[in-house]
Chain A
Amino acid sequence: MRKIFDDINEHYDVFELENGLKIYVIQKIDYQSSVFYLGFPFGSFDLVQKADNEIKQFPSGVAHFLEHKLFENPGGIDIMQSFSHLSSNVNAFTSYNETVYYFNSSKKALQKPLNLLLDFVQNLCITEASVEKEKGIITQELRMYKQMPEQRLMAETYHSLYANHPIRLDIGGTEESVNATRKEDLMDAYRLNYHPANATLVCVTPLAPDLIYQWVEDNQNQKTFEPKHEIKRVLEVEPNEVVRPFHQFEMDIQASKLTYSYKLNDYSEDPKQNIEKEWQYRLFLELIFSPTNPAYETWMESNRIAEYFGYEVEVNREYGFVMFYGENDDEHDFIDLVQTNLKTDLNRFKQAFDLLKRRYYAQMLRSFDDQDDYAITLLRSHFNKVEMMDSIAILKSIQFEDILHLGENILKMPTALVKMTGLAKLD
């Protein structure tokens, strides 16, 4: 099926194989290179799953560990080297909600690397020894991220906000959970979550969609798979309150930082409603906490904020938050700045609101030029059960009146303050 979006000069083709594998092909005939992303909706949040009426619990970081081990050599073949021989770069990432394997190439002879991608991801080949060997590598990866100040600040903030939701845990898990991971955990996680019916392949390529479809179908017709398991993520109920209203920690850094966050509760099961809500918050916050607001410049002049100041907002079916971050040494002043300005009367921002929508529209159009951005956004939209272009339509539909009272909503929500200071600066 072809989906056409004339107004932005984009289209893509969608296929589904008999075994349930979904394929999206975005043909860009004037591009030289191609990207192929094969994703599974199995990420770091999937720690407890209900599988065929049985509860299965995994150590944290299992999806990320599995991603590492899929590159193991089945039959002595070095997968990364095999891709390189085919002039292709292969890699993978694990995020909260998905694990994705991908390659890119500037060549047109893509059937072999595509087969290689499908073959290595559909064939887990591990031993006790190879699982043990990987633990040292993953431990160094966790330590590398732990010494990055901004990432550590975000991790501590999630830890302050959430008591039960797995966002409080690092995507890679902890050193303890990695060391506790067994070969059986990985095999179980693979068996439950890597069925082709769970998989989606997204390609951005100059090649014809039917050709890609044919290659994938030929590959899959040679394989048999066990029946698909019905799986569902199981989450503990998350309380409305935050875990730590205040938390302070030290790092060996020069530039102290802080976050001040609100834990939202107005998310829903409907992904479109969440997209709409997130756009509304984004528009509201950008009008107040960016140069769009004339007060922003005075905050900077009076050292209440610096260039490292901003906000993050996220609304999805499991959680929502608004997080402000900055470099103000006086946390009381920072909180006052946020709280006072969330009460801003927006009525004088009507014209800026219309211009802001224009900016976001342009940014979305721009993302279609980037093959990787395009593929990942399409993949995530599919897993989120929304059409990629819905986001544009939802943005266009938002009215100024929709955001007028959002500040009042935010101010009612529980808060968490996290301070990261240099060594020996703790109060």
Chain B
Amino acid sequence: MFKIKQDLPFNWINTDKFKDMIISIRFAVENVEPNVSMNNILSYMMSDRSEMYPSKQLMSNQMDALFGLSLSSKTTTFGAAHVIEIRIRTLNERYTDQPHIQEAARFLMDCVRRPLINEASLCEAKKNLIASLKRIQDKPSHLGIIRVCEGVGKDTPLAVFSQGNIDVIESIELDALKAYHQELLKQVQPMILIMGDFKGLDQKKLQKQLTFNQTLDILPSAYVFQPRHSFKATIQKETSQTTFTQLYATHTAYNDPDYLAMRLYVIMLGQLPNSLLFQEIREKRSLCYSISASSFNFDGVMAIQTGINHKDLDEVEMLIELQRIKLAKGKFSQALLKTAQKMFINGLESMIDEPYAYLNFMYQRGYTQHDLNLKATIKAIRNVSKNDIEAIAQKIELIGQYTIRGKN
């Protein structure tokens, strides 16, 4: 089992159940542009080349030499905060013929501190990020979510797409990026998560290698989105089905007492095979293949999305509304709530077998400074009642609709 030592900003998770060692470094900044686009460019560059390894070939060779080390970086949104994560995953020294973890950590820190930032590397990063954004927008399900959040959340973190903005990316200049990187290193203390088997490892030395000299300053992250207007739009595309996306304000914060009831509400509505949306719209009427509800927990919003024939749109919209009414009026079975509780708990308990899921859990715990004690959380999930679900259902408010009308 895991032994955890949390001494912020360091989180040491000692376990010998996996064959890998993972080191993850995460910087959080305010979720506004141009920060988000800057983060995405830096994220690309930090895992591309460094001053020490200034070509893709040298980077690749060094990673292979470190026993197939994998280096990756990504950006995510945590409500009002935007996070850039860079991490390595490499074989535990039990499976290699020589020690290499300290060298792997040195490699990681070099990528963070001294990525190769010049005109050519910036040009490449911009080109590839813009192409990636276009690919994302070419997928109707992604486009629907992006557009409805933009439409509803103008001038709030909700409207900021975590992977950046094409216009902002195009406008970023080299000096500004260099300054942003330096500021990030000097002013933002990252959270550092290390997971693996520490037997025989000089942890003090490793910690020294991974040290940044700032004090961890926790930025605001979770917030509750307050709608100022509703939004409704339809566009036409030559796609094979119509993608219908609805956005709702949950009016529930991440650390509210009824937060777990909100999560259960979303599961009952559209995250299980026996959830109301799946049963009523797919199973009983064959109107869709996929329909689901999902919550953006740090923003206080929820989305429902499905792919249908356009002629069925009015019927599907009405059926979605009816399911919400059922939950608000308590016209649902106790069995559905019990099932949702069991599946929520199952997901939490399984998390410790999935390294990245567990690291994310630890990060949320550290970053929000919110007590995410698993046992207490599971107990609280079990205590959610039918009345709690009804109360949540009554405060959820439809705030946006985006329809991508396809050929069918």
**A interface residues (Cβ-Cβ under 8 A, vs B):** 8-9, 28, 30-33, 78, 80-81, 84-85, 87-90, 104-107, 133-138, 140-141, 143-144, 146-149, 250-255, 290-294, 296-297, 300-301, 303, 306-308, 327, 351-352, 355-356, 358-363, 365-366, 368-369, 371, 423
Contact = CB atoms under 8 A, between A and B. Distances in A.
Given A84-B343, A87-B343, A87-B346, A137 B286 contact: yes
B406 interface: yes
A106 B350 contact: yes
A237 to B, nearest CB: 33
B134 A255 contact: yes
A149 B138 contact: yes
A17 B276 CA distance: 40
Nearest to B91: A362
Given A85-B338, A147-B240, 8 more contacts: A30-B16, A85-B339, A137-B288, A143-B240, A147-B140, A252-B239, A300-B124, A358-B65
A106 B349 CA distance: 6
B289 A30 contact: no
Listed residue (B289, B345, B349) with the most chain A CB atoms within 10 angstroms of its CB: B289
B64 A88 contact: no
Given A81-B339, A307-B128, A133 B68 contact: no
A355 B64 contact: yes
A81 B68 contact: no
25 contacts: A30-B1, A30-B15, A30-B16, A32-B350, A33-B350, A78-B274, A80-B273, A81-B335, A84-B273, A84-B274, A87-B342, A87-B345, A106-B349, A136-B286, A137-B288, A140-B307, A140-B309, A252-B238, A255-B135, A292-B57, A300-B124, A307-B131, A308-B135, A363-B68, A365-B19
A87 B238 CA distance: 41
Nearest to B95: A365
B64 A359 contact: yes
Interface string B347-374: 0011011010000000000000000000
A146 B243 CA distance: 13
Interface string B260-294: 00000000000011100000001000111110000
Nearest to A68: B289
Contacts of A300: 56, 124
B178 interface: no
B228 interface: no
B255 interface: no
B67 A362 contact: yes
A355 B15 CA distance: 28
B349 A33 contact: yes
A252 B242 CA distance: 13
A209 B405 CA distance: 52
B165 interface: no
Contacts of B65: 355, 358
Given A143-B408, A371-B353, A365 B57 contact: no
Nearest to B274: A81
Contacts of B89: 366
A362 B140 CA distance: 36
Listed residue (A147, A306, A355) with the most chain B CB atoms within 10 angstroms of its CB: A147
B285 to A, nearest CB: 8
3 closest cross-chain pairs (CB), A and B:
A362-B68, A136-B286, A80-B273
A308 B408 contact: no
B61 to A, nearest CB: 6
Interface in B53-80: 55-57, 59-61, 63-65, 67-69
A254 B19 contact: no
Contacts of A352: 61, 64
B207 interface: no
B91 A365 contact: yes
B241 interface: yes
A45 B238 CA distance: 30
Contacts of B19: 8-9, 365-366, 368-369
B308 interface: yes
B241 A144 contact: yes
A254 B133 CA distance: 10
B213 interface: no
B135 A149 contact: yes
Interface in B138-160: 138-140
Interface in B102-159: 120, 124, 127-128, 131-132, 134-135, 137-140
A135 B289 CA distance: 10
Nearest to B307: A144
A147 B406 contact: yes
A101 to B, nearest CB: 13
A65 B350 CA distance: 30
Given A81-B339, A307-B132, A358 B57 contact: no
A133 to B, nearest CB: 5
Listed residue (B17, B89, B355) with the most chain A CB atoms within 10 angstroms of its CB: B17
B286 A294 contact: no
Contacts of B67: 358, 362
B93 interface: no
Given A105-B346, A252-B239, A297-B56, A140 B289 contact: yes
A140 B288 contact: yes
Given A84-B273, A85-B342, A106-B349, A255 B60 contact: no
Given A31-B353, A81-B273, A307-B131, A252 B237 contact: yes
A307 B128 CA distance: 6
Contacts of A363: 68
B20 interface: yes
Contacts of B272: 80, 84
Given A32-B349, A136-B286, A365-B91, A89 B343 contact: yes
A84 B57 contact: no
Listed residue (A32, A144, A146) with the most chain B CB atoms within 10 angstroms of its CB: A144
A16 B401 CA distance: 54
B238 A423 contact: yes
B68 A141 contact: no
A147 B241 contact: yes
Contacts of B139: 148-149
Listed residue (B60, B307, B343) with the most chain A CB atoms within 10 angstroms of its CB: B60
Given A252-B239, A307-B128, A358-B67, A297 B286 contact: no
A355 B59 CA distance: 12
A137 B274 contact: no
Given A32-B350, A81-B273, A87-B343, A255 B131 contact: yes
A88 B345 CA distance: 11
Listed residue (B15, B61, B135, B308) with the most chain A CB atoms within 10 angstroms of its CB: B135
B82 to A, nearest CB: 21
